[in-house]
Amino acid sequence: MLLALLAFVSNSNWDPSQVSELSINWQEPVSFEVVTEPVATLINLTKLVMFDFHFIRTSCFFGTDNPVLYFVGRLLTCPVACALLLCAWVLQKMLGRHKPFNTVLNQCGVMIFAFFLSITRATLIPFQCVENPNGTSSMMLHPGIICYQSEEHALFAALSVVGVVTQPLAILVLATYVIFTYPSRVAGGKGLRFSTRYRFLLHRFKPSSYYYGLVLLYRNAIIALLPTVLVGVPEVQVPLMGIMQTAPWRTQMANRVDMLLTDLLLVTLLSAGPLLLLDEASSTAVLGHHKAGGGSLSRLMKLVILQHSSVFLDSDQLQNLDLLFDIIRTSTKNVVVVLTGELLSRSWCAGEIVTAWKNDIHTVPLLCEGFERLSDEAQKQIPSLWTPHQVAQLASYGIQLDDVNLAYSWLQHELTPLQMARFGPVCGREKVVVELMNVCGLSSRRTTSKTAGHVSRPRILILSSYMEAEYLSACEVFQILLQAHLHVECEVVHDFQQIATCKPFAYYLIALLFRGILRDEDFIKLLLYATQTCTSSKRALELVPVVADSNFEVPNVDGYWAL
């Protein structure tokens, strides 16, 4: 119970030791001059959480009551605790109880994370100065030390600067680096080791909210700054207490009404917060594609782009073409047309292209393998492939057949396309996506998912047939989603050499099943090779089949004999 209370105090916005510093004339039940023994114990415990060791009378041990010594003790509290953890780890290692170094690193990280508010406040103590009647200012904690004029305060300030740089600032820089590089680490296959090393920062929250640890650290840093910035006006730190204390209105009733209205405003704002609707349709790019020919590729591109900016996939809104065209017209800056074999023959894709052309939206054609430019004659024949209902549906949105012909000519002959290779390593497709983002004016933080020299040690292997490019893209999408959900390194394997390299580290083999996959001889050979017992690890991979195609059918007995 006591540990839970200390953890709450150290991670919350509320600093109990600051309550006694507010300039409020407390009534008898809560007076800090006359307190009962349990209340005094609670106050002393909160001081201990804030590294205030005055109440334990350290002068009895050191023979002096030096304020600098107290301050140095506060600054060294966390480093000494981490050093003790390191010594304990070394001792256990000498005794034969081997533990990974990440264990002591995470223990120290948990302690730093829990007491970050206390660490930051301790380093800023020399700058908490209050004004004196003679115009000078002195330290709040040590009123006998004149701020900015005495040599003793200069020593305090120097120690404070060293403490800020080596502790809270260094912690914030490290945490910022970890959070901002974590998505690229996961996408690059190094997420497992990275998240294990920084488990104290990443594993306390849901995978989708991995960044919240950084939010808490910055929030606590701002909270620690408030007593320093607003040290002369403590009522501002607690606005409602300021209203109750100063009572600015002439009548007591007016002051009470003011307080109640302030309460009502806060309650109203807090209650209305969950009802706020964000404009999810607003995006920096729209990916227009043919679902059968480029659905998985577009989904892969969306996952990569989402690490840097917002993007909208048109297949997510096919049930409402009006909204789809309106998003292109009013809520996006770029349209990316994924040119696959049958895209230009689809009516809703034609509507997207015409809408972008009419409204002068920046459009980038992405030329994929298998796409062939249409001749003028073939281009004019495209509307004959549509049903009367589809033609009427486009006309209801102001899209005429002549507009389609002109927009197709604009797309194929006036715009500069980017080339997208559908096969090969995924890093090639990611490079094209990064180039695409640069063309669209979007910032990117990385170039590829894997750094040079990276040795993959996946726990899960993903295998499928690569007869069609969409199958490979589906595997790559599955890899990204699985890594983000499990925080485990995964790898899409393409050949025998890659399987042999990754197999000693892997435990599971996931086979994505598509229609006709069992007739692919290359897939069968790779599957048989991957399921053999590994000579180095002396274990066989556990096979996990996943049906990724609704048209996949399990063969009957005759079908197996035919295979």
Q: With 80 as the cut, is the pLDDT of residue 24 above it?
A: no
Running DSSP on this structure, what letter comes out for residue 251? S
Closest CA to 498 of 526, 537, 474, 532: 526
Token pair, residue 81, equals 């605790």
Burial 531-547 (b: 16+ CB within 10 A, else e): eeebeeeeeebeeeeee
Q: What's the pLDDT band for 428 if we cut at 50, 70, 90?
A: confident
pLDDT of 359:
82
Rg (the chain; Cα; Å): 32
**Both structure tokens of 223:** 């909270």
> What value does the mean pLDDT take over residues 406-417?
90
Per-residue pLDDT averaged across 53-77, rounded? 69
Q: Which of 464, 488, 487 is nearest to 476 (CA)?
A: 464
Q: Which of 352, 444, 431, 432 is nearest to 399 (CA)?
A: 352
Q: Which residues pair with 462 in a beta bridge?
A: 492, 510
As given in the structure block, the two tokens for residue 136 are: 């000078």
What CATH number is given for 286-439 in this structure? 3.40.50.10140
Rounded Cα distance, 49 and 51, in Å: 5
**Range among 22-26, 132-136, 144-148, 189-193 with highest mean pLDDT value:** 144-148
Dihedral sign (CA 231, 236, 242, 248): positive
Domain boundaries, the chain: 2-232, 286-439, 460-562
CB proximity list for 31: less than 8 A, separation 6 or greater = none
Query: Taking residues 9-15, what's their average pLDDT?
Result: 45
Cα–Cα distances in angstroms (integers) from residue 408 to residues 146, 290, 329, in the given order: 77, 15, 18
Strands 334-339 and 362-368: parallel
- Provide the token pair at 484: 């983000």
pLDDT of residue 451: 46
In the predicted model, what is the mean pLDDT of the chain? 76
Phi, psi values for residue 10, rounded to 5°: -75, -25
Buried b (16+ CB within 10 A) or exposed e, 432-466: bbbbbbeebebebebebbbeeeeebbbbbbbbbbb
pTM of the entire predicted model: 0.55
pLDDT digits (tens, 9 = 90+) for 489-526: 899 998 898 888 888 888 999 999 988 888 888 898 98
Higher pLDDT, 451 or 546: 546
Contact yes or no for 422/469 (Cβ under 8 A): yes
Q: How far apart are CA 145 and CA 59, in angstroms?
A: 19
Please name the residues in contact with 16: beta carbons below 8 A apart, sequence gap of 6 or more: 9, 42, 43, 46
Mean pLDDT value of segment 325-335 = 79
pLDDT at 61 (0 to 100): 59
pLDDT in tens, 232-290: 555 444 454 444 455 555 567 766 776 787 777 667 766 766 665 555 445 677 888 88
**Residues 100-124: tens digit of each pLDDT:** 888 888 888 888 888 888 888 888 8
**Bigger pLDDT: 274 vs 376:** 376
